[in-house]
Structure 1
Amino acid sequence: MNAIDKNLAILNRRRFLSISLTAAGGLMIGGIIPQATQALVIDRQPWDENKAGEEINAWIMVEPDDTVIIRVAQSEMGEGIFTSLPMIVAEELGCDWAEVKAEYASASRNLRENNVYKRMGTGGSGAVRRSREFLQAAGANARVRLVQAAAARWNVSPESCSVDNGKVMHQASGRNLRYGELAAEAAKVTLAGDPAIKTPDQFTLIGKPVARLDTPPKLVGAAKFGIDIRLPDMVYAAAATCPVFGGTVKSYDESAIKGRRGVIAVVPIEGGVAVVADRFWRAKEALANLPIVWDEGPAASTTSKQFDADYIAALDGPAVTAKKEGDVDAGLSAGKRVDALYQAPHLAHAPMEPLNCTAHVTEGKVEIWMGTQNPDMALQLAAKAAGVPPSEVEIHNCFLGGGFGRRAVNDELVQAVTISKVVGKPVKLVWTREDDMRHDRYRPQAAIRFQAALGTDGLPTAMHMRTAVGSIQRSLGLGKVENGVEPSAVEGLANMPYRSPATQVDCILKNTHVPVMFWRSVGSSQNAFALEGFIDELAQAAGMDGYRYRRKLLEGKPDFLAVLDTLAKKSDWDKPLPKGAGRGIAIHESFGTIVGEVVELTVSPKGEVKVDRVVAAVDCGHVVNPLTAVMQIESAVVYGLSAALFGEITIDKGAVVQGNFDDYEVARLADTPKIETHLVLSGGTKWGGIGEPGTPPIAPAVCNAIFNATGKRIRALPIKNVDLSSGA
């Protein structure tokens, strides 16, 4: 190894951050916090019975120094679940939060022990709302076993003992024992039944703002993402698949790159070919110089312009009725008609960390290192690709540099396993940004037609909604959707909260060769844009503003009204704005959570849009960590704002045009508004999700604000394609 290669090996991401932050006499973060980071988040996979400490149950291990390790079965991709889920366990356990560490649960153990972790897939804003009760139960189970262990040692009744901050207390005698002293005995206790769990009025930790456990290690580059993985004897791979989805390789000329420095092998993969080398750059450059002839298939003649026309035409064709209440035909003929057509494009997920996977396939054994939203599904996928039993696969889940749904299906894993199986070494496969953008599984394209009639009071006498949209289930091969109605296709439409004497929602599932998949907030993303834009059109036709009109349509729904009224108050809804400025409002319920947003923006005479302020009001019932809940709304607003202003994937000659952030723009710091989030919690039995519901309202709120500023109605995204200049 020459001097340059040695330096490259030493200068990894973590060391670069540590050095660069101190080189100019600045923030010496790398030299201050590394030990602290290890006390917050640790990587100890695979699960090993010989590790220090005593495991009380599959979720909890207590070390002799009272450190409490709480395992997290969901994937941390920025949403804060590496803090919120341990908080749920700790609430019942009664431990000292300062002593808590988090680590990933093992998918292999989950398989081996009959789904001991219940739910490992992360998506649908379900980490808290679908896991809370069994996580509370895990904490309560461990607490009661610790108490029983202490009571047995003292020869007292468990009922005479209590817990406080990581200790079991016996008030009558003043004695106490630390959890670390009791863990070994508690691990042997068998309970007769499941202990009761707390109700929200008994919480002491849940509901309080708590600093995230994963922030310090991420600040100093100590957190391990998939792209950080380095293994002994590891090689690197770059892969190319047909630019047109569904195409195949006709031929390639391996001799063209034979003898290039560092190149190890050329490996056929499904739909393409990969080059393996001792450095990723060498693999990437060799691949770029490998002559490949593609069989692009019949889809090579398709374009987005054609798709636009096809989706609109599909609205006049056969459909399946997803919902019908009242006499819609009679209602539509009984008042003032308002019709509109809304369109939404394909969108990429565009996670900041492009897809990657490190795989090591040996005789009868497969190890995987990656960030995945579905570690248990990834395990099955790896087993199938390698041709081994699932019991012989180990998944080392890493932090995810963004997922948004894309990392729920791991195409990169199959490629990495295929390559490692051929070369017999650990292989790190990295998709370039262009690979990631052009071989995504996209948010479906949609066309949505609305018809409504208004009575003399300005309220609807009937509403008819008809959507043509790609089927995610069919695209993923999950089924034919026999009844023709996919829940995600009509979510937010079939269950719209607004009252109308007659309502009909029709669904046309229409797929192209472009693969589609879950995108942050799924069908609510395009359906909220369309519905909330159309509700504003009805308000305009009725001569009312958007807030007051929605208030009339939501009478009898106190949770929605609380969110709306909070928005109006906190956003200064009735405060006059200068010329060229406007406010817009939108409200939507998804994943059990109501989110309303008011956007305040300005439009310059040249048509430049500047979103100045976003006010959000949120009702998710209860919240575990208000700090991360607010962060998630802010994240969702920026993600949705990027899509509204700039986002579109276009197809030309069957292939995706966009390749990087120069032509698939996202909101930069200069585009990011001031965001104010207000939690309007209704409590009760409601536990809504928080990761996705902030996305749907932002696009319609922006478009409604643009209308109020300019008088121009936007019915097709992205906004960048609309001429908003004063002379237009």
Structure 2
Amino acid sequence: MTIHNITATRRSFLAGAGLVIGFTLAPKVFSAQALEGVPAGGAETLSPMNAFVKIGADDTVTVLSKHIEFGQGPFTGLATIVAEELDADWSQMRAVHSPADDKVYANLAFGLQGTGGSTSIANSYEQLRKAGATARAMLVSAAAAEWNVPASEITVSKGRIKHDASGKESGFGALAAKAATQTPPAEPTLKDPKDFVLIGQELPKLDTLSKTNGTAVYTLDITADNMLYAVVEHPAHFGATVKSFDDSEARKVQGVVDVKQVPQGVAVYADNTFAALKGRAALKVEWDLSKAETRSSDQLTADYTKMFAETGIQATHNGDVDKAFGGQGVQSLEATIVFPFLAHAPMEPLDAVFIKRADGSVDVYNGAQFPGMDQKTAAKVLNLDPAKVRLNTQITGGSFGRKAQFGSPYMQEAAGVFAATDGRRPLKHMWTREDDIRGGYYRPMYVHKMRGAMGTDGQIVGWDQTIVGQSIMGKADLDSTSVEGASDLPYTIPNLRVIAHNTKLEIPPLWWRSVGHTHTGFAVETFVDELLQKVGKDPVEGRLALLSKEPRHMGTLKKVAEMANWGSPVPEGRQRGVAIVKSFDTYVAQIVEISLGEDGAPRVHKVWCAVDCGVAVNPNVIAAQMEGGIGYGLGAVLFDAITLGDGGKIVQSNFHDYRSLRINEMPAIEVAIIPSTEKPTGVGEPGVPPVGPAVANAWRRLTNNPVRQLPIVNVLSA
């Protein structure tokens, strides 16, 4: 049995010997012998130290990334941190996914191994600095012993170890085996940040070459001899279950091997993808809708709005809000804003490969955002000890939160489909684009009710906000992810009240890129802008007056205003809008310039973006994440909604009716990174929230029409 699509990089990683700060690492992709329990290329013994750096005999340095690489840059960021403290040359650096281990590779923000919340660099910064510094100290100790010279006289620079007095010099690889026997320092000495030579530089991403020349291996690329392909027919209504099915026509399709009912629907097994899909299309399934969600999106909106009159959960209550609205000379403004369900729509839909070995253990290959959780879930479904399930994390074509599912429901389905076979044939379980768009686990639908009061001095004296929507965490009490960005407003408002209502639906919710800030950022920043306009205040100067106690907010906003030359004349037929949102401890301010497009919708020409994310580990990655976040957020605010039609049936199915921003619609983007000595914070998500309200604010000033429902284009064309 052979697994194909093994890259040369992975072969060299598996076969090379050298220093590893970590424990024994199982191969990521197995040869025919390894599948039968015989290690490929001989057993490799790795030093049981602690857990992130491998140095090969060829001088390469491989960083074991505890965070999945799905385009947001942890391979490059973590390798940069290690290389800095190791004094390696960037050309030496490599990165691979670490094994699944919730203890050794725990995300320090979560307590288990996982990627999300823009925490990859933030939680790993000190940890990986120490890993790099430890490896450097061990190499120096090995060199001192080998050359019989004092360690204090040895220098390391650009991957070369030197002792000037004796003229001795070495690369890392020649000393790696001996270094692995050295005792690591309990507290390695870290560099003074003023001495950084790599951190802060625009280094090329480690995964760019393989992703552009086609050698990068995704889960969908992995094949094995005699492999089965499986797809599942899911219901078109959330909460529906299989009542009965007729598979007679499906079984007539050449290549279809079997059809089985599973808890999530009906699985079709075939010798190839085409047969599996054709067989699924031939199924006749009768669904039980007795417990299904049958309300339309319009009905849900009406039901959500009714909850404004009910007693909710208090998130924030400062001052006397009701009194503030009754003050003499106070001007007030009200708004209700509707946010739709949003799918994540990553380029690579969910998929997984299962291979059973002769000893009864199982290898699982997938884009695991929570590897330990996926491993344990697969083991439970397959009735195996978790030690008998090896989870091999693959690089992944996007996620945006889609693969970060507590309880691993996708793995439950995929493992269940494999468990329903005898396990003799490897199996690839796949979701199509339609499965993904219609598969739930959406950014929930929310409705906000806003009330604001402006005093006679033009200051906001009262703010009353009610948020209705599902708790992503499934909580009965306050879910902080529903109100983040609203309950902790940066603006100085003496009387502030934020109330939440949790709704119960059959539609499974999930965090979506920037989580609660996707809707609170829009609601807050458009409403602040309207209030300022109501009393004739400039959008930037008015915000700065409200942010006097928030210096990093102010610095970011001032920078973006400088970049856009705010206050200068705007070209005829255009308008500008501004927004600033702090999310995941990162401050992002954006100004957009728009016009009225030929289709009557906003045409975004330029986005200026200023970001304060603490120490900028790799400005190239930071800028790329801001650009990607702007494109992602802009596509959503303009075009995207998952809607339920009459009877609750899902309307959208693919990119033709749930579309991404097209290349000709992408605006010019200018990014500035605020210099900082603060600890680094995340950049994967914070670029998303400001662009929507900035566009809506520009649109309101251009057309005099405030945006009360998203997406903008669909609402305009309705």
Task: Report if aligned partners of 2:318, 2:497 keep a CA contact under 8 Å in 1.
Answer: yes
Whether the 8 Å contact between 2:448 and 2:467 is mirrored in structure 1 is: yes
Q: Summarize deviations over 1:642-673 as a string: whole Å, max 9, x none.
A: 11000100012222110011111211011111
Determine if contact 2:587/2:612 at 8 Å carries over to the other structure.
Answer: yes
C-alpha spacing 1:134/1:600, structure 2 compared with 1 (3 Å)? same
Verify: 1:340 aligned to 2:335, yes or no: yes
The answer to whether structure 1 residue 598 and structure 2 residue 591 are counterparts is yes
Q: Offset at 1:158?
A: 2.0
Give 2:22's aligned residue: none
1:93 aligns with one of 75, 86, 104: 86
Q: Distance in 2 between matches of 1:76 and 1:635?
A: 15
1:571, 1:615 within 8 Å by CA — same for their partners in 2? yes
Structure-1 separation of matches of 2:5 and 2:29: 24
Q: Distance in 2 between the 1:624 and 1:132 partners?
A: 9
In the alignment, the residues of structure 2 paired with residue 660 and residue 724 of structure 1 have an alpha-carbon distance, to the nearest angstrom, of 19
In the TM superposition, what is the alpha-carbon distance from 1:683 to its structure 2 partner? Answer: 2.3
1:353 aligns with 2:351: no
SS of corresponding position for 2:657:
coil
> Following superposition of structure 1 onto structure 2, how do residues 466-615 of structure 1 map, counting pairs within 5 Å?
466-474=466-474, 480-481=475-476, 484-604=477-597, 607-615=600-608
* 1:312 Cα deviation after fit: 1.3
Residue number among 358, 361, 370 corresponding to 2:366 in the alignment: 370
Which residue of 1 is the match for residue 464 of structure 2? 464
Asked if residue 256 in structure 1 is aligned to residue 249 in structure 2, the reply is yes
SS at match of 2:144: helix
1:47-75 alpha-carbon deviations (Å, 9 max, x no partner): 98934997875322222221212211111
In 2, Cα distance between equivalents of 1:291 and 1:463: 54
CA contact (8 A) 1:539 1:546 kept: yes
CA contact (8 A) 1:311 1:447 kept: yes
What's 2:676 paired with?
682
CA contact (8 A) 1:167 1:179 kept: yes
In structure 2, which of residues 650, 667, 675 is the aligned counterpart of residue 673 of structure 1? 667
User: Match of 1:322, as an amino acid?
Assistant: A
Q: Is the 8 A contact 2:5 2:222 kept in 1?
A: no
Match of 1:22 in 2: none
Whole-Å separation in 2 of the counterparts to 1:695 and 1:41: 38
Moved more, 442-451 or 297-306: 297-306
CA distance in 2, matches of 1:723, 1:440: 26
Once the two structures are TM-superposed, the CA of residue 267 in structure 1 deviates from its matched residue by 1.9
C-alpha change, 1:433 and 1:455, in structure 2 (3 Å) is same
Q: In the TM superposition, what is the alpha-carbon distance from 1:445 to its structure 2 partner?
A: 0.8
C-alpha contact (below 8 Å) 2:321/2:495 kept by paired residues: yes
Checking the alignment, whether the CA contact within 8 Å between 1:599 and 1:701 is kept in structure 2 is yes
Q: More displaced, 185-194 or 133-142?
A: 185-194
Offset of residue 547 of structure 1: 1.1
What is the SS of the residue equivalent to 2:380?
helix
| C-alpha distance in structure 1 between counterparts of 2:293 and 2:486, whole Å | 34
Q: CA deviation digits over 1:537-590, x for unaligned, max 9?
A: 111111112111111111132211111111111112212224431100000000
The equivalent residue for 1:435 is: 435
SS at structure 2 position matched to 1:78: coil
Matched residue SS, 2:621:
helix
Q: 2:587 is paired with a residue of what secondary structure?
A: strand
- Which residue of 2 is the match for residue 316 of structure 1? 309
Aligned to 1:31: none
Q: Are residues 460 and 86 of structure 1, via their aligned partners in 2, closer, same or farther at CA, if it must alter by over 3 Å?
A: same
2:28 maps to 1:45: yes
Task: In structure 2, give the amino acid aligned to 1:212.
Answer: K
Distance 2:106 2:693 in 1: 41
In structure 1, the residue corresponding to 2:278 is in which secondary structure?
helix
Which residue is 1:414 aligned to? 412
> Take 1:51 and 1:469, find their aligned partners in 2: how far apart are those partners?
52
SS of the residue corresponding to residue 692 of structure 1 reads: coil
Superposition deviation, residue 631 in structure 1? 0.3
Matches within 5 A, 1:26-45: 44-45=27-28
- 1:405–1:550: structure 2 CA closer, same or farther, 3 Å change rule? same
Per the TM alignment, residue 403 of structure 1 is displaced from its structure 2 partner at its CA by: 0.2
Task: Provide closer, same or farther for how the CA distance between residues 389 and 610 of structure 1 changes in structure 2, counting only shifts above 3 A.
Answer: same
1:381 corresponds, among 357, 360, 377, to: 377
Q: 1:49-198 alignment to 2 at 5 Å? A: 50-51=43-44, 57-107=50-100, 110=101, 120-191=113-184, 193-198=186-191
- Rounded to whole Å, the distance in 1 between the matches of 2:714 and 2:105 is 52
What letter is aligned with 1:642? Answer: G
Q: Deviations over 1:472-505 (max 9, x none)?
A: 111xxxxx34xx2111111000111000111111
Counterparts of 1:218 and 1:192 in 2: how far apart (Å)? 38
Q: Is the 8 A contact 1:533 1:715 kept in 2?
A: no
Partner residue in 2 for 1:212 = 205
* Residue matched to 2:653: 659
What is residue 27 of structure 1 aligned with on the other side? none
State the match for 1:392 in structure 2: 388
Q: Report the residue type matching 1:400 in the other structure.
A: T
CA distance in 2, matches of 1:603, 1:630: 28
User: How many pairs does the alignment contain?
Assistant: 687
Q: 1:131 to 1:144 in 2, by over 3 A?
A: same
Q: Which residue pairs with 1:628 in the alignment?
A: 621
Partner Cα separation in structure 2 for residue 399 and residue 146 of structure 1: 30
- C-alpha separation between the residues in 2 aligned to 1:288 and 1:443? 28
Question: Residues of 2 paired with 1:208 and 1:186: CA distance?
Answer: 29
**Is 2:137–2:185's contact at 8 Å kept on the other side of the alignment?**
no
Q: After alignment, is 406-415 or 379-388 more displaced?
A: 406-415
In structure 2, relative to structure 1, the CA distance for the partners of 1:671 and 1:38 (3 Å cut) is farther
Identity %: 37
Does the C-alpha gap of structure 1 residues 429 and 354 become closer, same or farther in structure 2, counting only changes over 3 Å? same
Any gaps of 5 or more consecutive residues in structure 2?
Answer: 16-25, 31-38
SS in 1 for 2:473: helix
2:365–2:394 CA contact under 8 A, matched in 1: yes
Alpha-carbon distance, 1:177 to partner: 2.7
CA contact (8 A) 1:37 1:217 kept: no
Quick one: distance in 2 between partners of 1:583 and 1:148?
Answer: 59
Q: Which moved more, 1:320-329 or 1:492-501?
A: 320-329
Letter of the 2:181 counterpart: K
What is the TM-score with the length of structure 2 in the denominator?
0.91
Task: Using the TM superposition, give the Cα deviation of residue 519 of structure 1 relative to its aligned residue in structure 2, in angstroms.
Answer: 0.1
Query: Does the C-alpha gap of structure 1 residues 547 and 683 become closer, same or farther in structure 2, counting only changes over 3 Å?
Result: same
SS of match in other structure, 1:315 = helix
